Amino acid sequence: MLTYQHLYQPGQDPSAPPLLLLHGTGGNERDLLPLAAALSPGSAVLSPRGDVSEGGALRFFARLAEGVFDPAEVARRTHALADFVAAAAAHYRFEPPHLIAVGFSNGANIATTMLQLRPEVLGGAVLLRAMVVLDQSAAPGSLAGRRVLLINGQRDPLVPADHPPRLAALLRAGGAEVSLEMMPHGHGLTQADLTAAQRWLRFSL
């Protein structure tokens, strides 16, 4: 069932990977469209809208306080989103092993928890400003063949400095090939993120 409000744009280039866009807190399914268009112009795009409201700001799972989460709720929301992605793949006819998640902030966080809990629905991910939400390693071998790019900011007030390397280790434990880039920036995205993601995508396919 296509349980999330979402936007789908068919791809123009069959060799370009389909992208799963996951917006940050307070965003919606249109936020990352310009980024996707710049990153991989011919890609099909699936972009769900977060279904959890934090005072009207949409997200993909609840936040008890800044950086504080309920692991059971995160797991439940992660499975719900993964079920949606699997249903959308069948409906729109794309192959989950080719699907690349592009997530920002809360969207990067749920992309990460999908890699940890439901690795079969993604082929790889660009995680922009992600943090450790579920402190558990991916199951050994579960992420074999998956490529992940983590881009974090050295001056990000929301993501503690030890989180990016910890996150990389949690995903590498599952066999993912993880690249971690630290930018001299904060939580917001910059042109440097786009350039790094373009370079990674070009060499990862």
Interface residue list for ligand MLT (CB under 6 A): 24-25, 63, 67, 105-106, 109, 158
Catalytic residue among 6, 98, 185, 187: 187
Q: Give alpha helix (H) positions in the chain.
A: 33-39, 71-92, 106-117, 163-172, 191-204
- Cα distances (Å, whole numbers) of residue 64 to 26, 27, 81, 93, 158: 16, 19, 20, 37, 14
CB-wise, 17 or 50, nearer to ligand MLT?
50
Does residue 105 have an active-site annotation?
yes
Could you tell me which residues are beta bridge partners of residue 126? 102, 149
The 3-class secondary structure across 48-67, one letter per residue, is: ECCCEEECCEEECCCCCECC
Catalytic residue among 47, 105, 142, 163: 105
Does residue 156 have an active-site annotation?
yes
CB-wise, 44 or 128, nearer to ligand MLT?
128
Residue nearest to ligand MLT (CB): 106
Catalytic residue among 31, 156, 163, 193: 156
Angle between helices 163-172 and 106-117 (to 10 degrees): 30
CB-wise, 166 or 199, nearer to ligand MLT?
166
* Smallest distance from ligand MLT to CB 203, Å: 28
**Catalytically annotated residues:** 105, 156, 187
